[in-house]
């Protein structure tokens, strides 16, 4: 259990700043392990660090010379410090990474993209298990295989696994309500368990084969299928033999798509760092069951730290909410590998080993990951340079004081006011910030259907009220410095009033109207108190604004369609208390559709097998009360 050290309150900082301020804490510190925080004069956290011995570590900052430029600048801005003592250095490391993720200090290395990775889930709570993509907490009963680097990698693998093993991907409720096989069965990607085309035991064998393949026992599975194909061919069961041949081909396609399939590495993450001109790319390869399940690149904020520090910080933050594999293969040695291994072992409740190989297959994996990291960083730096030019051009065109670091674009989508949603996208020097996109279900009870002004007001009010609550001093990078509004002078004036009512009047905003004939390339830009302006037809800045607007429109339309599809998929029977999957299936089988159930009279409802008189009355009342 950690406890806060006595002289830590930032409310009473030392009268001096810099190394003299740091030195003043030495007399009250001991050499306990723990975590320290450096704060500036406004009590903003500059840096979070861990220490095996707090007094020894802090004393290294309490001298005027011998520091790198980054550390010297950090020391010069330090006006107070805070300390948390821990029982062990391992606990200090875990606490340090929690605080870094929570506080995002400007002198720490920060992992900016840390969303969870998808897995393949084979459910086990049903007689006929489902195979599907899963992301997030592993609460559902079943076996999980992963992680995969991206949704695309999972989808490709699932597609081929369905061809090879014919496992269902439908939901349990859909499974229970089916009365005839679906399209997946027709195109030979499912064995049709929902309508009894395969027995429970035969389906269980398919599940076992799929799980063996996901565990890396692919050779055994393919040999089995090859033997079955030969037997079918010899028995002149040519249709069955052809189906088995197609399944073998599907498995081969999975393996060939994976590219790297190491023989000596069963389970590992291969992590390689390339650092150039203060920018870094970390490439992660996911090796599971001797198969490559994809790779992903990350671009941490380096704060001009050295490679060993960047890689160590990356490991701590990356595995904070992810289960580490048994081996982590690194391109560079980190400063304290034993401590990191101990912390990851404690987190995983099993041994985790860190390796920095110099030869063999593991070294070849690192070399491949390093090449990917170098190429990815080169592309990223090129894109960033182009983005910086576009942002400067946008600032010049719109008379902004400096290039914007965060642009937010808003759009609404609905059909005659139904399933209305608002959408916000964000962009900056690194391009589109997709992890920071936001969608808003329009909830205003007083809104007139199709009232675009009212919808925009609700979206902006919710967005900026939250910002004002969570970050009133604008210390993080979530506040925009430019708003792009889809519309002309009327929309800009309305948005300006909304922002004025919220007390936020210092954010630039520009309305982008379609212009003459609503043609792309003839857009007009509207700003408060100024005449409309336009950019020349082939101006790169105009294309940039068009991309921003189109991305906001794409995101809004996609969000609206998803909401509309969810609404359309709702079955009226799901809203009736006491109607479970079996009764629902019986009603649909008897009447053919939910609409026919709604029109049925009480006598017909009572005639359905498995529906009691009381339940028939409940169903009838649900559709006819108040009609």
Non-local CB neighbours of 423 within 8 Å, separated by 6+ positions: 410, 411, 412, 413, 437, 438, 439, 440, 552, 555, 556, 559
Q: What is the pLDDT of residue 75?
A: 93
What band does 11 get if pLDDT is binned at 50, 70 and 90?
Answer: very low
Q: What is the pLDDT of residue 295?
A: 87
- Please name each of the domains of the chain with its CATH number: 3-103 (3.40.1440.10), 119-258 (no CATH), 267-378 (3.30.420), 407-567 (3.30.420.340), 572-624 (1.10.150.20)
Write the DSSP assignment of 461-527 as a string of letters.
HHHHHHHHHH-TT--STTS-SEEEEES-HHHHHHHHHHHHHHT---SEEEEEE--GGG-TT--EEE-
437 pLDDT above the threshold of 80: yes
Residue with tokens 């992660």: 284
Q: Choose among 284, 283, 289: nearest CA to 267.
A: 289
What band does 308 get if pLDDT is binned at 50, 70 and 90?
Answer: very high
258 pLDDT above the threshold of 90: no
Question: What's the pLDDT tens digit per position in 379-397?
Answer: 888 888 889 999 999 999 9
Q: From CA 480, how far away is CA 426, in angstroms rounded?
A: 8
Weakest mean pLDDT among 79-83, 347-351, 387-391, 567-571: 567-571
Q: Residue 353 forms beta bridges with which residues?
A: 327
What band does 57 get if pLDDT is binned at 50, 70 and 90?
Answer: very high
The structure tokens listed for 204 are 């269980």
Question: What's the pLDDT tens digit per position in 534-580?
Answer: 888 888 999 999 999 889 888 888 877 777 666 655 667 777 877 88
What band does 8 get if pLDDT is binned at 50, 70 and 90?
Answer: very low
What band does 64 get if pLDDT is binned at 50, 70 and 90?
Answer: confident
Non-local CB neighbours of 491 within 8 Å, separated by 6+ positions: 453, 456, 485, 511, 526
Weakest mean pLDDT among 14-28, 172-186, 235-249, 360-374: 235-249
Average model confidence (pLDDT) across the chain? 84
Residue with tokens 């979206």: 459
Task: Calculate the CA dihedral of residues 77, 82, 87, 88 and round it to 10 degrees.
Answer: -10
Question: What's the pLDDT tens digit per position in 579-598?
Answer: 887 888 888 878 877 788 88
107 pLDDT above the threshold of 90: yes
């Amino acid at each position: 259990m950690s406890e806060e050290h006595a002289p830590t309150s930032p409310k009473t900082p030392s009268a001096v700043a810099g190394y003299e301020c740091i030195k003043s804490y030495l007399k009250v510190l001991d050499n306990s392990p723990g975590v320290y925080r450096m704060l500036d004069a406004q009590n903003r956290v500059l840096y979070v660090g861990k220490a095996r011995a707090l007094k020894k570590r802090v004393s290294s900052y309490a001298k005027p010379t011998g520091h790198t430029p980054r550390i010297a600048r950090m020391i010069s801005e330090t006006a107070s410090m805070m300390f948390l003592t821990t029982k062990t250095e391992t606990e200090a490391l875990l606490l340090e990474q929690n605080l870094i993720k929570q506080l995002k200090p400007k002198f720490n290395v920060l992992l900016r993209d840390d969303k969870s990775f998808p897995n393949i889930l084979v459910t086990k709570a049903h007689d006929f298990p489902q195979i599907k993509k899963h992301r997030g907490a592993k609460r559902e009963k079943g076996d999980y295989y992963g992680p995969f680097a991206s949704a695309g990698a999972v989808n490709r693998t699932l597609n081929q696994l369905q061809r090879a093993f014919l496992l269902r991907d439908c939901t349990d409720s859909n499974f229970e309500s089916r009365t005839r096989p679906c399209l997946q069965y027709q195109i030979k990607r499912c064995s049709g368990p929902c309508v009894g085309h395969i027995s429970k035991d035969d389906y269980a064998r398919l599940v076992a084969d799929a799980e063996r393949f996901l565990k890396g026992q692919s050779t055994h599975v393919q040999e089995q299928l090859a033997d079955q194909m030969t037997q079918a061919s010899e028995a002149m069961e040519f249709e069955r033999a052809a189906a088995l041949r197609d399944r073998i081909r599907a498995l081969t396609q999975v393996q060939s798509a994976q590219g790297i399939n190491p023989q000596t590495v069963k389970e590992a993450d291969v992590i390689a760092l390339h650092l150039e001109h203060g920018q870094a790319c970390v490439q992660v390869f996911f090796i599971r069951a001797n198969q490559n399940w994809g790779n992903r690149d990350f671009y941490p904020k380096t704060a001009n730290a050295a490679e060993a520090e960047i890689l160590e910080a990356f490991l701590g933050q990356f595995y904070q909410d992810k289960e580490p594999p048994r081996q982590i293969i690194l391109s560079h040695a980190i400063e304290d590998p034993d401590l990191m291994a101990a912390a990851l072992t404690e987190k995983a409740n099993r041994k985790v080993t860190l390796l920095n190989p110099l030869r063999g297959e593991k070294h070849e994996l690192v070399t491949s990951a390093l090449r990917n990291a170098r190429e990815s960083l080169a592309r990223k730096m090129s894109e960033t340079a182009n983005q910086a030019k576009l942002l400067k051009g946008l600032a010049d065109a719109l008379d902004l004081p400096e290039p914007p670091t965060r642009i937010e674009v808003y759009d609404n989508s609905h059909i005659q006011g139904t399933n209305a949603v608002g959408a916000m996208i964000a962009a900056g020097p690194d391009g589109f910030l997709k992890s920071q996109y936001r969608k808003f279900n329009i909830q205003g009870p007083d809104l007139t259907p199709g009232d675009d002004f009212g919808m925009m007001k609700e979206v902006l009010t919710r967005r900026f009220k939250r910002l004002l609550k969570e970050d009133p001093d604008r210390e993080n990078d979530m506040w925009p410095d430019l708003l792009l509004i889809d519309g002309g002078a009327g929309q800009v004036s309305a948005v300006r009033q909304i922002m004025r009512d919220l007390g936020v009047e210092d954010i630039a905003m520009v309305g982008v109207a379609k212009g003459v004939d609503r043609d792309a390339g003839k857009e007009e830009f509207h700003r408060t108190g100024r005449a409309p302006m336009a950019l020349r037809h082939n101006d790169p800045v105009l294309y940039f604004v068009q991309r921003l607007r189109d991305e906001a429109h794409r995101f809004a339309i996609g969000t609206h369609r998803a909401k509309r599809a969810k609404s359309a998929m709702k079955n009226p029977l799901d809203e009736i208390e006491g109607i479970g999957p079996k009764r629902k299936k019986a009603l649909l089988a008897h009447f053919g559709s939910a609409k026919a159930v709604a029109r049925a009279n009480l006598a017909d409802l009572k005639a359905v097998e498995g529906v009691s008189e009381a339940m028939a009355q409940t169903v009838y009342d649900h559709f006819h009360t108040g009609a």
